[in-house]
Amino acid sequence: MGCSLRVEKDGEKIVVTGAKCKRGSQYAQDEMLNPKRTVTTTVVVLNGEIRRLPVRTKKPFPLRRVSELIQFLSTIEVEAPVQVGQVIATNCLGEGVDIIATRTILRRSK
Amino acid sequence: MPHHIDCDVVVIGGGPAGMASALSAWNHGARKIFILERNDYLGGILNQCIHPGFGLQIFGEELTGPEYAARYIDQLAKTSIEVMTETTVLDLTPNKKITAVNPKGVWEFYSESVILSMGCREKTRGMIFIPGFRPAGIYTAGLAQYLVNIEGYLPGKKVVILGSGDIGLIMARRLTLEGVKVEAVVEVRPSLSGLIRNYVQCLLDFELPLLLSHTVTNIFGKERVEGVEISRVDQSWQPIPGTERLLSCDTLLLSVGLLPENEISRKAGVSLCHFSHGPFVDENFSTDLDGIYACGNVASVFDLVDYVTLVSQKAGQSAAENRDKKPIKYQLNPGSGVGLVIPQRVRQVNDGWLFIRPDQSFRDGEVQFRTQGKVFDQKRVAVCRPSEMVRYDLKNIHWPEEGGEIIVEIVGSSVEGI
Amino acid sequence: MKKAYDVIIIGGGVVGCAIAWFLSHFDLKILLLERELDVCCGISKANTGIIHSRSYLTPGTVKGELHQRALSWFPKIEKELDFHPSVTGALTVAFNQDDLNYLKSLKNIGKYDDAEILSPQESLLLEPNLSDRIVATYYDPRAAVASPFRLTLAFAEGAALNGVEFHFDSSVEGFDHQGKKIIVHTPNENYEASYVVNAAGLSSAKIAKKSGDQIPVFSTFKGEYFLLDKESQGLVKKILYPVPNSLSKGILVSPTPEGNILAGPNFESSCADDTSTTSQGLNEVRAGAQKLVPRFPFNQTIQIFAGIRPTLPERDFLIFVSKKHPGLIHLCGIESPGLTASPGIAEYVGELLIQQGLSLKEKDQIIFRKAFPVFHDCDWKKREELIAQDPDWGQIVCRCEEVTLAEVKYALRMNPPARTMDGLKRRIRVTAGRCQGSFCQMHLPSIVMNLLNIGIQDLLKSDKNSNLLVGKTKKVVNTHATPH
């Protein structure tokens, strides 16, 4: 799975060799300049079958701001029921990335 | 009187293997199908694997564990497959009679086919003989993952992780994101056990140290972990005297191996394979007992859930069709460089796959297939690691005319470092 | 206001609990003080679990005499406490002529009709996995194994049912004498008693010093063990002993009542509170186990652990009345066969108390203890009945040992109750199975916190500082993710 890339900085330019597809090339450039990651964590869910809702960034998010994102997400509480795919927060920290739920959690039966 | 249920297929375990095999059985015509799941919900281990890395092959998307599970839970809802949760199977006879319990009583299932999909459990401290005290704060990585992700509990404040397999790496990141200090990931091998991508995104991103060729040789703390002693190891993984160092921590996380959970399989008398630690299976994931199939991590630890789905679909199809089996033509065994092969028994090669797990990391490698001492086929493999199974379509291997024992080996340059 | 008792027992090990049970047959106000959070936390927690149903000890020793006395107690223990050792039989194994001479002496001392010296062939027929380098074995069919936890808990439960109070987290810090009374100081409370029994095991010398008594110096020796998966049940069916050396009974291989296999203990010098296993110690146990069973399957190990024994120079029990107060009795150096001898020790302590003026008036009625059902040991009919009575019997909490929620609830409610995870382990086997808690510890923390109505800070493994969890997620501090 995957391929091995070679990335060099040539003055201002970034040179990528060994990529098997265009996506690989783009990925390598991003990793050098502005690495991004899919961030996954949990948030508090109230009145659900379980107490934590797993969530993810819908698209990759800037690595250098992951701490802030995590801090922000630790303040969120979601009320059950919640559906997988449901948007929990939009345009987090102004980076244009939404947070979505990755699990359906029903309301807790009494 | 126990509840008496007659049915076509019973699936033991409602994780990815159970769900995929039940659906496949349904799609191949079986109708009275039960999934017996000990938890309150379906999904198995996927529920706690909240990180991405699932479904690239099956769905062409990179999903998180719960999202992958949701795809199958949705499909199940469109069938009349019956799911019984909070139900624990305690017995299975060679005649396929299943006895299970739940708060509603004792249940006996009499089924045409039984699919074993109980998954696996983790290796523990006692199994790897780490001396020292037995304080609170020693956790297997999967248990810690459950506590953090499902229950919302923190197992500790300062952690040393033993094992650089993917579970250990993933937990290093997860704990860091929850504010826990990860002191180091300690690995007994001279090279990384898990995927490079996980090394980058779990360790490098957070500047967490990886100590290769080291292991934990003592645990301190009478009541709660206070620290661990680590030592450098030689090529045979033996601690080198004089290299001991103390790492202060309050938690030791063990990511030191998975064991297929075959207690039920043993009760049925299914033959178990010593290198996969699961039942001997053929390319359709039939065990050696008629009507009993095994798929997913109970058969052998798979690393990609996509592969679990594929083999479980085969098992489900076999369980629905319950056809007479052709005689075994090839018996596969691991040789040098190979930890396990699955299936270990091949009847026909027109369909299905062979999965091979290397027992170390290789560069510029070649997988060699031997019979009677002679290599009859070989396949190049640029890089391979213990954490990634190599997969071939059975029909793409140039099998010998004559059946018999086949040894699968890997030769190549060993890899040191990442 | 101090609380006043007739007798205070210090120490909740098997001996302290046996004394408590014995005395609970009489019209007395009894208190047992234990410094840990549960019974069976010291020496009693980690030992070989053998009931030496036959005595081969030197006559004239205290341990010999009390062991003999104890043997006649077991029928009563079975009846009143519903506690049953598992009779397995034992083979003492000889590898050479000297060993054989020892076996012959055993036969002579014991003079038991059903015990005999067997040839290698006969021995191997009984135990096929025994080494074939043996020259003979001495077979005693009556030797038995028992869980030290189960016996200690049986005594404790029986005592509690019959009025004994148990106070935990009550370390004894000192004594005062007020005429005929003794005042016992603990951090939380002061108590008054006419008689005090110091059965504090590894701390007995420290306690005795607090009363101004001199106790001969005793040494502590560690013994390490391997415990094997139940998959190896049948590896040996009897206890296998080597010929003892001057230090100890040696490293043995034994089945356990629950179906595991145990190997150990070695004998190494250690501090009283050091129950850590060591590579050297484990290697000694390996060698000893392999000598008896050459193909001992160490790859089936599920746990390694160590226990401590206190030994006096004379290697005998020391039980005596204090020189500082006529109502204070000290016990010291209770090593092997302490587990078996415990009821005999209790009876002897009773006699000393009478001698010191305590009047023992038998109660009209004694409540017998009925052991709580063990789901794992019940047949399917019984299991069905239990679930019909209470659905909690149908919820499996520990997969390896087949333990149900009903048993968890019982263990938390019984007297003395489990208040820690190890307390649950001792009573109902959770975390004692092959996965060592990887499964049950997923759900048990929440279950226990709910049932006991406690928070994370009070969820403990064993001692006060053995927190299992440190907090909840979502209190994130100082995460630092950097581009590389």
Q: What is the CATH number of the domain that holds C224?
A: 3.30.9.10
Q: Is the pLDDT score of C2 beyond 90?
A: no
In terms of domains, do C212 and C286 share one? no
Q: With beta carbons less than 8 A apart as the criterion, state whether B191 and B417 touch.
A: yes
pLDDT at B182: 98
Phi-psi group of A109: left, alpha or beta (phi > 0 → left; psi -120 to 50 → alpha; rest → beta):
beta
Domain assignment present for residue C65? The answer is no
In terms of domains, do C22 and C109 share one? no
Q: Name the minimum distance, in Å, from the CA of C201 to any CA of chain B.
A: 18
pLDDT single digits (tens) C267-324? 999 998 899 999 999 999 999 999 999 999 999 999 999 999 999 988 899 999 999 9
Question: Catalytic site residue C52?
Answer: yes
Q: Does A43 touch chain C (CB under 8 A)?
A: yes
- Residue C476: which pLDDT band, with cuts at 50, 70 and 90? very low
Q: Name the minimum distance, in Å, from the CA of A29 to any CA of chain B.
A: 16
In terms of domains, do C295 and C257 share one? yes
- Residue C481: which pLDDT band, with cuts at 50, 70 and 90? low
Q: Does C449 touch chain B (CB under 8 A)?
A: no
Q: Is the pLDDT score of C483 beyond 90?
A: no
Closest CB to C483 among A35, A52, A67: A35
Domains delineated in chain B? 3-121+259-325 (3.50.50.60), 124-256 (3.50.50.60), 331-413 (2.60.40)
Residue numbers of the domain that contains C302? 90-141+219-308
Domain assignment present for residue C82? The answer is no
pLDDT at A22: 75
Q: Report which of residues A18 and C81 the model is more confident about.
A: C81
**CA–CA distance, B164 with B170 (Å, rounded to integer):** 9
Q: Which residue among the candidates C52, C67, C325, C330 is catalytic per the annotation?
A: C52
- B205 contacts A1? CB cut-off 8 A: no
In terms of domains, do C251 and C273 share one? yes
Domain assignment present for residue C369? The answer is no
In three-state secondary structure terms, A71 is helix
Closest CB to B177 among A41, A51, A102: A41
Q: Does C305 touch chain B (CB under 8 A)?
A: yes
- Residue C143: which pLDDT band, with cuts at 50, 70 and 90? very high
**Low pLDDT (below 70) residues in chain A:** 1-2, 12, 110
Closest CB to B205 among C399, C471, C484: C484
Average model confidence (pLDDT) across chain C: 94
Could you identify the residue written with the tokens 């030496």?
C52
- B147 contacts C469? CB cut-off 8 A: yes
Domain assignment present for residue C67? The answer is no
- Across the B:C interface, residue pairs with CB atoms under 8 Å apart total 159
**CA–CA distance, C263 with C240 (Å, rounded to integer):** 10
Q: Does C450 touch chain B (CB under 8 A)?
A: no
Q: Does B47 touch chain A (CB under 8 A)?
A: yes
Q: Is the pLDDT score of C59 beyond 80?
A: no
Q: Is the pLDDT score of C139 beyond 60?
A: yes
Q: Does C477 touch chain A (CB under 8 A)?
A: no
Average pLDDT of the segment spanning C69-98: 96
Average pLDDT of the segment spanning C338-345: 96
Residue C471 with chain A: CB contacts under 8 Å: none
- Across the A:B interface, residue pairs with CB atoms under 8 Å apart total 60
Interface test with A, best of C443, C476, C477, C484 (most A CBs within 10 A): C476
B161: part of which helix (H) or strand (E)? Answer: strand B158-162
Domain assignment present for residue C174? The answer is yes
pLDDT at C484: 43
Closest CA relative to residue C110, chosen from C50, C52, C48: C52
In terms of domains, do C255 and C401 share one? no
In terms of domains, do C128 and C258 share one? yes
pLDDT at A110: 65
Q: Given CA atoms C370, C376, C381, C387 in this order, what sign does their dihedral have?
A: positive
**CA–CA distance, B129 with B121 (Å, rounded to integer):** 18
Q: Name the minimum distance, in Å, from the CA of A43 to any CA of chain B.
A: 9
In terms of domains, do C132 and C187 share one? no
In terms of domains, do C284 and C411 share one? no
In terms of domains, do C137 and C233 share one? yes
In terms of domains, do C189 and C268 share one? no
User: For the complex shown, is ipTM > 0.90?
Assistant: yes
Domain assignment present for residue C64? The answer is no
**CA–CA distance, A91 with C290 (Å, rounded to integer):** 65
Residue of B nearest to C286 (CA): B129
Residue of C nearest to A64 (CA): C482
Q: Does A56 touch chain C (CB under 8 A)?
A: no
Q: With beta carbons less than 8 A apart as the criterion, state whether B143 and B136 touch.
A: no
- CATH number for the domain harbouring residue C193: 3.50.50.60
What is the domain count for chain C?
A: 3
Q: With beta carbons less than 8 A apart as the criterion, state whether C174 and C210 touch.
A: yes
In terms of domains, do C283 and C382 share one? no
Average pLDDT of the segment spanning B385-409: 95
pLDDT at C480: 52
Residue ending a domain, among C355, C383, C416, is C355
| Side chain identity, residue C400 | C
In terms of domains, do C224 and C191 share one? no
